[in-house]
Amino acid sequence: MTADSTTTTTTINTTTHTNTNTTTTVTDDRLSLEFFRHTPICTIILDASLVIRQVSDSFLDIAGLGSPTDALGLHFDDFVDRVAALPTLVSARKPLRNAQETLRPSELKHLDVPDGSAWNIRIVPILRHASLRYLQMELTDVTTEHQRQLDLEERLYTNETFRILVETVKDYAIFMLDPNGNIATWNAGAQRFKGYKKEEIIGKHFSNFYSQEDRDIDKPGRELADALRDGRVEDEGWRYRKDGSKFWANVIITPVYRGQTLLGFSKVTRDLTERRSAEVKLIEAYEEASKLKSEFLANMSHEIRTPMHGMLSALTLLLDTPLNPEQRELAHVIEESGEILLHVINDILDYSKLASGCFSISTDIINVSEILQTIHRAQEKCRKPGIDLQTYIDPKLPKAAEGDSLRYRQIVQNLMSNAMKFTEEGYVHVHAKLHEEDDEYYTILTEVVDTGIGIPSEVSGSLFTPFMQFDNSATKRYKGTGLGLSICKSLSELMGGHIGFYDNPEGHGSVFWFTAKMKKVQHVKDIDDLHEELEQLTLRTSTSPFEDVKHAAVGKKILLAEDNPINQKVMLKMLTSLGFRDIDVALDGRDAVALSIRNPPPYHVILMDINMPLLDGVGATKEIRNAGVQTPIIAMTANALKGQAELYLAKGMNGYVPKPVDRNLLVKILLSWLNSNAPSPTQLRATPSPPPVPLPSEAAPSNSPLPLAPLPSEAAPPNPPLPPAPSEPAPSQPTPSGPVPSEPSPSELAHSEPAG
């Protein structure tokens, strides 16, 4: 560099001498040159014709030039084109010409260059004898300063925006408090809510907005302290206006700091008076509506179902009397219509309960295979000739799981009735498989396969929508409310499952499937014991339920938990007349628990009053179940609404009889718990097994060639024998007239659900 500098110096010396003809000494020249070369301000000297005559080292640096020779002697315009590192020079042309013409200093400030830098350019014309000799150009890098300026403008803009926003907001009172809680700013919303003008309130303490009681307990002070401690405090309560009226407010107080210094608090207040009154109105309206709804439901059940049952019973009696063929046919029409009507009413009741979300799924201990068998037997009765009805049960289905038998049954029954309704020939097959199993739950997949009319693709999307029926033609061939499938959907979802359908892969018809989750049972052994006991019973085909119950009562022990001596006496008499000889009485729930939880469980059935002293029926049931005793418990309740009874079922009870106890109903329920869920061995033998059909099953391990057991052979001893291999000689086809329990199961009673 030193060598370079020397050369440059020499050149300039020469130039100066030749061009200016001055008489200045070399020493002076050297000094001014030195001074010029080393000035930190980037400087270029041009002569009047804009040829570069001198550059400072600082300029060389920023222009990225090695030596002054890269610049000296070049015309400014040519030079500019060469120096790519300094794009700002291009903009210097204009002030340069300006200075050249006006002979006045020209300046360009905060010149933005696309590369993000900013420059100040100053041109000073140097005159001698009023004529232009040189032009001195200075460049200053102001990028940092420029950036700061921009930030500042931005911040000013933001602050201003916020200030305007806050001041003009009318729906919120937004203002600042100083650290002592005195009001420092005020906005339009604050003026509107609180009624104070800015000049009236600034400097006053914010406790003016609080009630006297709040001030007495220093609520404002505590709020500030809380805000300081927690960083924010939110409160809802009454605040007062200037005129003394009050409004329901939501208040948020936040402390505001600059660095470590507390500047004060921001306070945002919303007037919630309208919202609050709307909420109150809404809640009132909701309560009213829900009350009306439950009243309506209760009335529905009472006012329609009761006379319907009466009508149908009378009809049954009428049909037993001698009628001529025409009368008989008319009577059958009435019977059929009545049953459809009853079904419709039940559907609508179920649907409104599902829709209002007050539908509960109970958790009894259930045996899915047995439920399917019962449904199978019931459907067998109304099977059209020419339809093959089969139920295939995965042997791996749990014998006991916690689920809602009533609801599971309802779905299967509904899907099966649909399948039967829409199938004229071919088959209706039910497959139940263990779909998944984890530590806590079984997932059971149930499929109903038919060869019926199938589902047209255009309605498949709305099949599970309430009140949708794809057969909406004027000559409606198939009856129903169109609620069935949507109820099934809600029910399966309540049971943690899904529902769906697809076309029958074997041709026409459809496959409806659903899954249901059932909790694993902790006390399986007890259940098995119970089942063994139950299986020892023989179901006799007798003429009346009273005969049945008298048979079933033999050797059975019953606990009656009832505190009212009169009811006790009546119940005892009733049970005795039904053939029960071994009846214990508990006077309260505590007593009932103590009597029941002995080992082995002493009772076959427990009849439990709900309201009892010391411990009520629900509590007693809970304790009995917690002790691992799974004896069927039948609630006796005077609470008329069905929903309440279902609540008891959900609490671990197995059935219920409304009070006053109707003997016929009691008989049916007792029978179902003493008998029907355990088919007898003789009965099993009486029904020939259909040939087993091997089925591809997701649940069955692929290396097992065992077919799923068709229904009758699976009719459930606790340790079922392996289903017969397909090679075994096939017994005759299933007979439609297999023994069917002569009484409906509790679910039918609770629900009076005619098939179809």
Partner 1 sequence: MEVPGAEDRIDQATFEQILEMDDSVDDRDFSKSIVYDFFTQADSTFDKMDSSLDAKDLKTLSELGHFLKGSSATLGLTKVQHSCEKIQHYGHKKDEAGSADITEEEALEKLKSEIAQVKKEFGDVQKVLKKFYKDES
Residues that bind partner 1 (CB under 8 A): 291, 295, 563-567, 569-570, 573-574, 577, 609, 611, 638, 659-663
Q: Which is nearer to partner 1, 83 or 635 (CB)?
A: 635
Interatomic CA distance for residues 756 and 753, integer angstroms: 9
What is the Cα gyration radius of the chain?
Answer: 48
CB of 561 to partner 1, least distance (A): 13
CB of 295 to partner 1, least distance (A): 8
Q: What is the amino acid identity at position 537?
A: L
CB of 660 to partner 1, least distance (A): 5
CB of 304 to partner 1, least distance (A): 19
Beta strands at 582-586 and 557-561: parallel, antiparallel or unpaired: parallel
CB of 341 to partner 1, least distance (A): 23
Inter-CA distances, 429 with 181, 325, 327, 422, 426, Å: 79, 36, 37, 13, 10
- Among candidates 671, 635, 674, which has minimal Cα distance to 651? 635
Structural contact between residues 110 and 142, judged by C-beta atoms closer than 8 angstroms? yes
Interatomic CA distance for residues 488 and 479, integer angstroms: 17
Q: Which is nearer to partner 1, 462 or 611 (CB)?
A: 611
Q: Which is nearer to partner 1, 238 or 546 (CB)?
A: 546
CB of 487 to partner 1, least distance (A): 27
- E strand or H helix that includes residue 499: strand 499-503
Neighbours of 308 (CB within 10 A): 16
Q: Which is nearer to partner 1, 58 or 639 (CB)?
A: 639
Q: Which is nearer to partner 1, 361 or 583 (CB)?
A: 583
Q: Which is nearer to partner 1, 542 or 564 (CB)?
A: 564
Residues contacting 389, CB < 8 A, separation 6+: 376, 379, 380, 383, 420, 427, 428, 429, 734, 736
CB of 613 to partner 1, least distance (A): 8
CB of 215 to partner 1, least distance (A): 32
CB of 657 to partner 1, least distance (A): 12
CB of 609 to partner 1, least distance (A): 8
| Strand-by-strand arrangement of the 557-561 sheet | 582-586, 557-561, 605-609, 633-637, 655-658
- E strand or H helix that includes residue 180: none
CB of 563 to partner 1, least distance (A): 8
Interatomic CA distance for residues 597 and 19, integer angstroms: 126
CB of 661 to partner 1, least distance (A): 7
- E strand or H helix that includes residue 284: helix 273-299
Interatomic CA distance for residues 166 and 185, integer angstroms: 10
Beta strands in 259-367 (DSSP E): 261-271, 364-366
Inter-CA distances, 274 with 236, 247, 249, 277, 281, Å: 14, 9, 10, 5, 10
Q: Which is nearer to partner 1, 188 or 570 (CB)?
A: 570
Q: Which is nearer to partner 1, 205 or 293 (CB)?
A: 293
Interatomic CA distance for residues 492 and 502, integer angstroms: 17
Q: Which is nearer to partner 1, 558 or 667 (CB)?
A: 667
- Return the structure tokens found at 340: 């459809």
CB of 666 to partner 1, least distance (A): 10
Structural contact between residues 537 and 516, judged by C-beta atoms closer than 8 angstroms? no
CB of 520 to partner 1, least distance (A): 38
CB of 569 to partner 1, least distance (A): 6
Structural contact between residues 679 and 716, judged by C-beta atoms closer than 8 angstroms? yes
Q: Which is nearer to partner 1, 638 or 730 (CB)?
A: 638
Q: Which is nearer to partner 1, 1 or 317 (CB)?
A: 317
Interatomic CA distance for residues 462 and 460, integer angstroms: 6
Q: Which is nearer to partner 1, 520 or 663 (CB)?
A: 663
Query: CA dihedral in degrees (380, 383, 385, 389; nearest 10)?
Result: -60
Q: Which is nearer to partner 1, 120 or 567 (CB)?
A: 567
Q: Which is nearer to partner 1, 574 or 695 (CB)?
A: 574
Neighbours of 669 (CB within 10 A): 25
DSSP assignment of 426-478 equals EEEEEEEEEEEE-SSEEEEEEEEEE-SS---GGGGGGTTSTT--S--STT--S
Q: What is the amino acid identity at position 59?
A: F
Q: Which is nearer to partner 1, 45 or 610 (CB)?
A: 610
- Return the structure tokens found at 29: 């020249």
- E strand or H helix that includes residue 164: helix 143-168
CA atoms within 13 A on the CB side of 432: 30
Interatomic CA distance for residues 547 and 543, integer angstroms: 7
DSSP assignment of 39-85 equals -SSEEEEEETT-BEEEE-HHHHHHHT-SSGGGTTT-BHHHHHHH-TT
Structural contact between residues 121 and 91, judged by C-beta atoms closer than 8 angstroms? yes
CB of 570 to partner 1, least distance (A): 5
Q: Which is nearer to partner 1, 483 or 615 (CB)?
A: 615
Task: Read off the DSSP letter of residue 159.
Answer: H
CB of 754 to partner 1, least distance (A): 23
- Return the structure tokens found at 70: 């890269």
- Return the structure tokens found at 287: 């309560």
Q: Which is nearer to partner 1, 138 or 563 (CB)?
A: 563
Q: Which is nearer to partner 1, 508 or 573 (CB)?
A: 573
- Please provide the distance, in angstroms rounded to a whole number, between the alpha carbons at the two ends of the chain: 108
Residue 377: helix, strand or coil by DSSP?
Answer: helix
Structural contact between residues 444 and 397, judged by C-beta atoms closer than 8 angstroms? yes
Residue 434 pairs with which residues in a beta bridge?
Answer: 444
CB of 362 to partner 1, least distance (A): 23
Structural contact between residues 98 and 106, judged by C-beta atoms closer than 8 angstroms? yes
